[in-house]
Structure 1
Amino acid sequence: MPHAQAGRFPPFRLRLARLTTLLVVVSTLAVHAADVLLVATDDATLQPVLQQLQHSTMTTRAAWTSWSGQLESKSVVVARTEGDPLNAVAATTLALRSNPPRLVVVFGASRAHDPSLKAGDVVVSERFAAFDGIVSSVGALGTGSNALTWIKLPHPLITAGEKETPTPFFPADPAALAVARSLTPTQGRLVVGVLGSANQINREADRIGWIRTHWQTSTEDGESAHVAGTALLLGVPVIGLRVVDGTPAQAAELALRFMKAWK
């Protein structure tokens, strides 16, 4: 090759190094679609599901772990959220980007906001509400605080055209809801309602009543609505399954029965 022409191209080793780097980057961005993303709080809730998962592989990205495999002849990814909104959003986003599913199922135990609910009742999501946004009244130092005068503040979701749209409720997938409604609880009754979530544990009856009045919540947990909001933003259908004051085993059993019924 003439000297002048050779100067137009990088040395072979440099070109090979650049190609290798590109292949590494592409491989890290590769995605593998799944049928379902199952999301729950902790190992105790996930363990019965993982025991049923065939050909299971575990993946850790940053601080979050997920598992993939086969369940009821469906390709499944299982993600652990640690039960709070921030970790839930991170874990869900990582799973959705690396294994885009047809459906997200978030499941677990919950605390009742609807006073008619009893321990063991199952609540399936018609909608989700992330009720952690509030605006308080102006008050001088020493005048106290009154949570019953606060104003709810819906999350401003970014929609098409980078427009912020205040969104108090995130809808559940109608087809998945129809499947969930067909399930028979092992105890108690099945109710369709609003799954609420926040990084809160509310035990004051008046505070719970305020949340229910303003957000129509049926139950409270630390993750459901934030998982649902993440799925909504990324265009993936979602359903939520909660057992009121349930055990991890009860929540997992409900999720497994849903997986068997869902096509």
Structure 2
Amino acid sequence: MREYVKKIASFATSGLVVACIAGWVPATVLAAEKEKIEERPILIQGPMPIEAEKFAKKLTDVKIEKSGSFVFYIGTLDNYPVIVSKTGKGMENTAANTAIAIEKYHPIAIINQGTSGGHDPDLNVGDIVLGKRTVNTGSLKSGDLGKNQGSNPMIWGPMDLMASEGSGSDPNAKKIRYYEGDKDLLASAIAVKNTYTKGKVVEGTIASSDFWNDEIDRINWFHVNYGSSVEEMEGAAGAQIASAYGVKFLGIRVLSNNKSNGGKYNPATAEGNQDYVYEVVKHYISTLKSK
């Protein structure tokens, strides 16, 4: 009996191979392959434990994988694969983390989320900025000053590292490069913004650099010249790498402080932001399943 079963299985397998070679594949096989292709995971990035671990606890069937210093919580949300990545702080960490995640997990979309400092005096602690644009405000070229002429950051200008392979003197490099937030992710974020009750949810420009700006005049300079709504230390690096791979990207940042209007630091805003991003991801998953 056992040998008979083996022969039947062998015949079925060989039949499927022959069918595939002949150009005919059963509909059930095609459907399974289509589902496999469509269910590329959604990647949620958070720099610090307070910006990632609460979201990770919302996933089911979680397993943890590590690559270098980076931690990936791999699970599901509404029966769809979702990965939460703890990137660590800073542009270099985020760029490396994003590249590893894309190469290893092939996400369909990336949401970089966490806390931020306000640049716009009309925004308050607890408000959320959806990154319609993300920009690197740490890529700068100084003024041409000689010995004993000091330094004047107010005359520094942008340097677009992606403009060419030439030097910083290339005129094409003297523009501000913005990374546009993905329209489908942005649409899901807007669709559920009324679920967030701890502040406003607005579209804006997220600025990123490996620099903690604590000077009011400097903050205002970026707000005027770059249109920055908030600043943090990760988003533009993630956006740059996602763009290089052609992966959908959106930054979502909550104001944990705002020196431009005296808003005091509140770390609890990180949890509220993760709750909101959770609703965004659920909505986005529903749009993927409806296609």
TM-score, normalised via structure 2 length = 0.74
Paired residues for 1:14-53 under 5 Å: 34-53=40-59
Partner of residue 172 from structure 1, selected from 181, 188, 192 = 181
For 1:174 and 1:47, how far apart are their aligned partners in 2? 27
Partner of 1:230: 241
Partner of 2:10: none
CA contact (8 A) 1:168 1:215 kept: no
Give, in angstroms, the shift of residue 143 of structure 1: 2.2
More helix by share: 2
Partner of 1:203: 214
Partner of 2:277: 255
Paired residues for 1:1-263 under 5 Å: 34-156=40-162, 168-182=177-191, 183-184=193-194, 185-245=196-256, 247-262=269-284, 263=286
CA contact (8 A) 1:177 1:239 kept: yes
Identity score, percent: 24
State the AA in 1 paired with 2:185.
A
State the AA in 2 paired with 1:138.
D
Give the secondary structure class of the aligned counterpart of 1:191.
strand
Give, in angstroms, the shift of residue 255 of structure 1: 1.5
1:134 to 1:154, Cα distance in 2 relative to 1, 3 A = same
CA contact (8 A) 1:131 1:154 kept: no
TM-score, normalised via structure 1 length = 0.81
CA contact (8 A) 2:128 2:273 kept: no
Give, in angstroms, the shift of residue 157 of structure 1: 5.9
For 1:210 and 1:65, how far apart are their aligned partners in 2? 36
Unaligned runs of 5+ in 2: 1-37, 166-171, 257-266, 287-291
For residues 181-239 of structure 1, the C-alpha deviation after alignment (integer angstroms, 9 at most, x for no partner) is: 12122222111011110011112121112212222111100001111111111100111
For residues 229-255 of structure 1, the C-alpha deviation after alignment (integer angstroms, 9 at most, x for no partner) is: 111111001111111116221221121
Give the secondary structure class of the aligned counterpart of 1:238.
strand
For 2:163 and 2:107, how far apart are their aligned partners in 1? 21
CA contact (8 A) 1:88 1:227 kept: yes
More strand by share: 1
> What's the RMSD between the two structures over aligned residues?
2.1
Give, in angstroms, the shift of residue 83 of structure 1: 1.8
Unaligned runs of 5+ in 1: 1-31, 160-164
1:157 to 1:93, Cα distance in 2 relative to 1, 3 A = farther
CA contact (8 A) 2:239 2:249 kept: yes
